[in-house]
Amino acid sequence: MNKRIVVKIGSQVLCGPDGALNRETLSNLVNQLAGLYAGGWQVLLVSSGAVAAGKGLVPDGLRRITDPVARKQVLAATGQVHLMESYRQLFAEHALTVAQVLATKSDFQTRRHYLNMRGCIEGLLTAGIMPVVNENDVVSVTELMFTDNDELAGLLAGMVDADLLCLLSTVPGVYDGKRDGAEKRYIERWDDDLYQIEEVVSRGTSTLGRGGMNSKLAIARKVARLGTEVVIADGTDTQIMHKILAGRAGTRFPVIGDASPAKRWLASADDHATGSVTVNEGAENALLDKNRLASVLLVGVEAVDGHFDRGDVIQILNPNGRVLGCGQTRYDHAETARLMGQRGHKPLVHYDYLYLVG
């Protein structure tokens, strides 16, 4: 089976100081991705830049649009055409066909939508067509927006069970906040026992895009726990993909776990829960025990919140309100409330359909 790689390219990589697409950078990145394809990789590209591309194309009439959301939608709708045409032309020079896939968070909220999108992308990859994915800024509003395209790339990496996720920005990696002489130092290999996100970010990591480095770190760690290796690296380096595959660039997040397809979906749906249950301390300890495969049992539930149906995704909270994870419930909210605290019933959330935050 071919190896799969998800490559996310940030808008700061693709656009020059004037905000317009940098054709030279775009062409170089396409050449590198075509090289990966020729080397046997299945490539899924997540590309920012639609809004930026639209800035140089929209006529003077844009000034008449005072609503910032509508203005962004117009820029995205216009720029997406230009961005995709640029990719089409450049990949065609390598005899590669591309397909546009636009996504919103709602595509990950239900199992049905999730499987529909996965089936489409699997079909494209199997046919040798390169999916170019972007957030659908035309219809996305606050509650349906991804944190940024890094989050979208992370969700897609889990969806297609990618071997490698590359988050390309304009920095060589994650800055550790220390200095070696006059030089900044970047972490080559992330280790949760050595580094804490809050400390690394507060010591001076630059903010990039809508989510910033804090978002990149959270996503990279989450994806690594699901079974995909992650690299944060400098997309402006003309040999960056070769260096990444050779292990000579970026901050690398090694795989520290694995997850079934169902758990990867739950990881993508963890902020779309329709309700929650609070479990007691004993149940919390059982769920967090790495030596056990524990389900959420009704006997350990002490509170039910929200209106949910059988098969919905619900959050699992500890007695202090901390989110332990989420899972697909076997009972609706009314039956859960009636049976909570009782023994002798099937699990509220079976282990196979339970995703724990970590």
Domain boundaries, the chain: 4-261, 273-356
pLDDT on residue 10: 87
Class of CATH domain 273-356? mainly beta
Q: pLDDT, tens digit, for every residue of 133-186?
A: 988 876 655 555 677 888 899 999 999 999 999 999 888 888 876 655 556 678
58: pLDDT confidence band, cut at 50, 70 and 90?
Answer: low
Q: pLDDT, tens digit, for every residue of 193-228?
A: 877 776 666 544 443 344 477 788 889 999 998 999
Side chain identity at residue 115, one-letter code: L
pLDDT on residue 136: 80
Q: pLDDT, tens digit, for every residue of 345-355?
A: 999 999 999 99
The two domains 4-261 and 273-356 share their CATH topology (first three levels equal)? no
What does pTM read for this prediction?
0.84
User: DSSP label at 19?
Assistant: S
Vertex 229: Cα angle to 223 and 233 (nearest 5): 100
pLDDT above 70 for 50: yes
The number of beta carbons lying within 10 Å of the beta carbon of residue 334 is 12
CATH fold label, 4-261: Carbamate kinase (3.40.1160)
pLDDT above 50 for 52: yes
Q: pLDDT, tens digit, for every residue of 64-113?
A: 888 877 887 888 888 888 889 999 999 999 999 999 998 888 788 778 88
Which of 41-45, 122-126, 176-180, 321-325 shows the lowest mean pLDDT across its residues? 176-180
Percent of the chain whose predicted confidence (pLDDT) is above 90: 53
pLDDT on residue 203: 47
Where does residue 119 rank: exposed (0-12), middle (13-18), buried (19+ CB within 10 A)?
A: exposed
pLDDT on residue 17: 73
**Shortest CA distance to 354 belongs to which of 293, 272, 310?**
293
Where does residue 291 rank: exposed (0-12), middle (13-18), buried (19+ CB within 10 A)?
A: exposed
Contacts of 248 (CB under 8 A, 6+ apart): none
pLDDT on residue 43: 96
Share the mean pLDDT of the chain.
86
In this predicted model, which residue has the larger pLDDT, 266 or 62? 266
Q: pLDDT, tens digit, for every residue of 267-311?
A: 877 677 889 999 999 999 999 998 888 999 999 999 999 999 998
pLDDT on residue 108: 81
What residues form DSSP beta bridges with 6? 44, 165
Q: pLDDT, tens digit, for every residue of 222-255?
A: 999 899 999 999 999 999 999 999 999 999 999 9
